[in-house]
A and B are shown apart, each in its own frame.
Chain A
């Protein structure tokens, strides 16, 4: 582009460009403080979690000498006595430092059942004196438990000693390494089933919120302003009420001697109370209740802008109401429907609190197992791997949301 074409002098163009740049920088500077804050407070933690899912230096830090001695080992036969003795010496040191529990847990993750072997051996080695251990370590180790004579055990130790590993991802899709280095299904299949169940429950909840939310939003959108505003209070009040309060309410309603069962029994519908609390059913119904406003609000916002005279016209010309709705109204309300559906689906896939409180054992979702590995089994690397997979799933959904609905369209209350 030359200055001649636009009628601008070169100097003018430069000035304009400088002005644009200045405004860009000005706008950007407003955002910088928050950007720095969000990166430090939020993005960095997520990155740490991703890193943690492939990085575990615990064993490498605990027994560096044993691992160095194992590095040349072929993996086919029992490692030589020098390796075994070195490990026996390490194990005694760890028993005295009270770190033998850590290595036991780590080896146990590579080879289930090893924890008790390591701990019992460490306990017995504590009483052996150092000189004896340095000469007879290998024999003492083999005498303590038969499992030390199996190459599998040492392969597990070597595997646990790798600082960077994808093993936690394998575990989180129910796979494991074989002795030969191949990858096979684990005996117990847990996580894949749990992901599928989580998606299934999220889908059911989404469908239920559509089933309940669409007619309600439709009715409210085409009611008079006064009535709509009045009814909106009944949608917004639950929306604004604490999640814990709503979950508490469902516990009160669904428990064995709770309000629902008492009503059912008083009206003679059942003789004995029905088990509803601590099941998948209670999780789904409570979550449907909690997430329904997220469906109704975007639907209502879109439907409010639809001119219902099209529908009336179609009906007046003899179209059946459902047919008219399907052909004319549904396509027009689709933006609200997809926004609500994706929002509800995304939120329910990652839900934790409600399943934890009302889910019992069969209402648990993937978030609950992540929390379990964070807080109860303390397998933080596996929790990080499971969390990373869940994050991937959510980002995919978020990307879909942004593509089809647009984050600009998120409206509140």
Chain B
């Protein structure tokens, strides 16, 4: 009987219906994840026969840090915001990528010239999309705020505000709403007074904030009435309007634009496979597929493939009213402000 039990246990463990995964790719899920699956993951699987486990995460560097510090690497390739990239790279959670092996664009232009400058600015990542943090309003209940100052005006625009639970972007917005010129925002945030000023401004709407953890929650909150206005990655709102006909409006005022890159976890045993995937995913055609969720491709050759009608929905059409996210600032201040932010949340 005992032998039978052991046998059963062994069988249960070895008879997995799924072959071991060759590569774990981690990204942000939702509409964006679906677009990546369609244009990057599935074609790669079809071409190479690699088994890919496509995992969601909520962003930030904590999970990478935990894996590296515990010496237990679970992910291979990760989609990371540039606002977090500098920090993750400087702290040793990512592999340095040899950018010279990236293939030329489909029009024959070498990768170094084909990628926009920012896309290869960090040695740990290869640019994937240009995207933006915007806010969006549900127009079902009448017009909402149209500027970031109005977003912070709870008297003129009552209702819940959905914000992603982290200091990044929220502190920038608080300062801009408080009258700091966009070009001075990061300089101000580097000072104690500037930080206090940002928290004081956030205090004025604290009671009306609904915090969420992951980008995919933003359109859900707006949809189910959990919030009247939400901070969101622009593509999520775009997809909700486009695919589900949701009554949402994207407000571009003071949007914080950024890049997302593909990066490789430090110490992964599958580094070669991971590099193979990144080379594939950042080719011209897969990149141009990100227009499905209104994200701009990071290759000029892919931008050329976009129809004119799409371009006005991309962050690149609104750079004049936007602020560029500063990855270096957040590499230095991410920990300090993260801690202050959490203490502020719990007060």
In the complex they form, do A and B come into direct contact, defined as C-beta atoms under 8 angstroms apart?
Answer: yes
Residues of A bordering B, CB below 8 Å: 95, 97-102, 104-105, 108, 112-116, 119-120, 123, 188, 190, 194, 255-257, 273, 275, 277-278, 360-361, 364, 369, 372, 374-378
Residue interface bits B79-110, CB-to-A below 8 A is 1, else 0: 00000000101111000000000000000000
Known pairs A123-B90, A190-B346, A361-B211; A257 contacts B225 (CB<8 A): yes
Known: A275-B160, A369-B346, A377-B342. 7 other contacts (CB 8 A): A98-B91, A112-B339, A116-B333, A119-B331, A123-B90, A374-B66, A377-B339
Known pairs A101-B90, A188-B347, A361-B345; A375 contacts B333 (CB<8 A): no
> From residue A214, how far is it (CB to closest CB) to chain B in Å?
35
CB proximity to A under 8 Å, residues B35-71: 60, 62-63, 65-66, 69
Interface size on B, residues (CB 8 A): 34
Question: Which residues of B sit under 8 angstroms from A97, Cβ to Cβ?
Answer: 92
12 inter-chain pairs at a CB distance below 8 angstroms, sorted by A residue, are A95-B90, A105-B335, A112-B340, A113-B336, A115-B333, A123-B90, A194-B346, A257-B224, A361-B345, A364-B346, A377-B342, A378-B69
A-B interface, 4 closest residue pairs, ranked by CB to CB distance from nearest: A101-B91, A98-B92, A115-B335, A256-B225
Q: Whole-angstrom distance between the alpha carbons of A100 and B91 in the complex? A: 6
Residue of A nearest to B89 (CB): A98
> From residue B74, how far is it (CB to closest CB) to chain A in Å?
13
Residue interface bits B262-276, CB-to-A below 8 A is 1, else 0: 000000000000000
Q: Whole-angstrom distance between the alpha carbons of A99 and B65 in the complex? A: 12
Residue of A nearest to B61 (CB): A378
Q: Whole-angstrom distance between the alpha carbons of A148 and B190 in the complex? A: 17
Q: Whole-angstrom distance between the alpha carbons of A324 and B60 in the complex? A: 61
Asked if A278 and B225 make an inter-chain contact with CB atoms under 8 angstroms apart, the answer reads: no
CB proximity to A under 8 Å, residues B158-194: 160, 190, 192
Asked if B347 and A375 make an inter-chain contact with CB atoms under 8 angstroms apart, the answer reads: no
Known pairs A190-B346, A256-B224, A361-B345; A116 contacts B91 (CB<8 A): no
> From residue B203, how far is it (CB to closest CB) to chain A in Å?
14
Interface check B243, CB cutoff 8 A: no
**Which of these, B90, B210, B340, contacts A100 with CB under 8 Å?**
B90
Interface check B226, CB cutoff 8 A: yes
Question: Which residues of B sit under 8 angstroms from A99, Cβ to Cβ?
Answer: 91-92
> From residue A59, how far is it (CB to closest CB) to chain B in Å?
14
Interface check B247, CB cutoff 8 A: no
**Which of these, B60, B62, B87, contacts A101 with CB under 8 Å?**
B87
> From residue A263, how far is it (CB to closest CB) to chain B in Å?
15
Known pairs A101-B87, A257-B225, A378-B62; A116 contacts B332 (CB<8 A): yes
Q: Whole-angstrom distance between the alpha carbons of A104 and B343 in the complex? A: 19
Asked if B210 and A123 make an inter-chain contact with CB atoms under 8 angstroms apart, the answer reads: no
Question: Which residues of B sit under 8 angstroms from A119, Cβ to Cβ?
Answer: 90, 331-332, 335
> From residue B122, how far is it (CB to closest CB) to chain A in Å?
13
Asked if A190 and B343 make an inter-chain contact with CB atoms under 8 angstroms apart, the answer reads: yes
Known pairs A115-B335, A188-B343, A255-B226; A375 contacts B92 (CB<8 A): no
Residue interface bits B286-298, CB-to-A below 8 A is 1, else 0: 0000000000000
Q: Whole-angstrom distance between the alpha carbons of A116 and B334 in the complex? A: 8
> From residue B65, how far is it (CB to closest CB) to chain A in Å?
5
> From residue B336, how far is it (CB to closest CB) to chain A in Å?
5
Residue of A nearest to B63 (CB): A375
Question: Which residues of A sit under 8 angstroms from B60, Cβ to Cβ?
Answer: 376
Question: Which residues of B sit under 8 angstroms from A120, Cβ to Cβ?
Answer: 332
Residue of A nearest to B338 (CB): A377
> From residue B227, how far is it (CB to closest CB) to chain A in Å?
9
Residue of A nearest to B166 (CB): A376
CB proximity to A under 8 Å, residues B234-274: none
Question: Which residues of B sit under 8 angstroms from A376, Cβ to Cβ?
Answer: 60, 62
CB proximity to A under 8 Å, residues B320-336: 328, 331-336
Question: Which residues of B sit under 8 angstroms from A273, Cβ to Cβ?
Answer: 225
**Which of these, A100, A115, A369, contacts B336 with CB under 8 Å?**
A115
Question: Which residues of B sit under 8 angstroms from A377, Cβ to Cβ?
Answer: 62, 338-339, 342
Q: Whole-angstrom distance between the alpha carbons of A100 and B86 in the complex? A: 13
Asked if A360 and B210 make an inter-chain contact with CB atoms under 8 angstroms apart, the answer reads: yes
Q: Whole-angstrom distance between the alpha carbons of A120 and B332 in the complex? A: 6
Asked if A360 and B91 make an inter-chain contact with CB atoms under 8 angstroms apart, the answer reads: no
Residue of B nearest to A194 (CB): B346
Q: Whole-angstrom distance between the alpha carbons of A88 and B281 in the complex? A: 41
Question: Which residues of B sit under 8 angstroms from A194, Cβ to Cβ?
Answer: 346
Known pairs A116-B332, A123-B332; A102 contacts B91 (CB<8 A): yes
Question: Which residues of B sit under 8 angstroms from A105, Cβ to Cβ?
Answer: 335
Q: Whole-angstrom distance between the alpha carbons of A273 and B333 in the complex? A: 39
Asked if A256 and B63 make an inter-chain contact with CB atoms under 8 angstroms apart, the answer reads: no
Question: Which residues of B sit under 8 angstroms from A188, Cβ to Cβ?
Answer: 343, 347
Residue of B nearest to A372 (CB): B342
Q: Whole-angstrom distance between the alpha carbons of A275 and B209 in the complex? A: 12
Q: Whole-angstrom distance between the alpha carbons of A352 and B66 in the complex? A: 20
Q: Whole-angstrom distance between the alpha carbons of A256 and B221 in the complex? A: 9
Question: Which residues of A sit under 8 angstroms from B331, Cβ to Cβ?
Answer: 119, 123
CB proximity to A under 8 Å, residues B187-216: 190, 192, 210-211
Asked if A378 and B66 make an inter-chain contact with CB atoms under 8 angstroms apart, the answer reads: yes
Q: Whole-angstrom distance between the alpha carbons of A182 and B60 in the complex? A: 36
> From residue A368, how far is it (CB to closest CB) to chain B in Å?
10
Question: Which residues of A sit under 8 angstroms from B66, Cβ to Cβ?
Answer: 374-375, 378
Q: Whole-angstrom distance between the alpha carbons of A376 and B340 in the complex? A: 14
Find the residue from A99, A100, A102, A378 having the highest chain B CB count within 10 A.
A378
Residue of A nearest to B337 (CB): A116
Q: Whole-angstrom distance between the alpha carbons of A361 and B160 in the complex? A: 14
Q: Whole-angstrom distance between the alpha carbons of A168 and B119 in the complex? A: 41
Question: Which residues of B sit under 8 angstroms from A257, Cβ to Cβ?
Answer: 224-225
Question: Which residues of B sit under 8 angstroms from A360, Cβ to Cβ?
Answer: 210-211
Residue of B nearest to A375 (CB): B62
Residue of B nearest to A369 (CB): B346
Q: Whole-angstrom distance between the alpha carbons of A369 and B343 in the complex? A: 11
> From residue B174, how far is it (CB to closest CB) to chain A in Å?
17
Question: Which residues of B sit under 8 angstroms from A100, Cβ to Cβ?
Answer: 90-91
Q: Whole-angstrom distance between the alpha carbons of A188 and B332 in the complex? A: 23
Find the residue from A116, A123, A188, A372 having the highest chain B CB count within 10 A.
A116
Q: Whole-angstrom distance between the alpha carbons of A188 and B347 in the complex? A: 8
Q: Whole-angstrom distance between the alpha carbons of A98 and B91 in the complex? A: 5
**Which of these, B160, B224, B328, B347, contacts A255 with CB under 8 Å?**
B224
Residue of A nearest to B221 (CB): A256
Q: Whole-angstrom distance between the alpha carbons of A112 and B340 in the complex? A: 9
Question: Which residues of A sit under 8 angstroms from B192, Cβ to Cβ?
Answer: 113
Q: Whole-angstrom distance between the alpha carbons of A95 and B328 in the complex? A: 14
Q: Whole-angstrom distance between the alpha carbons of A360 and B224 in the complex? A: 16
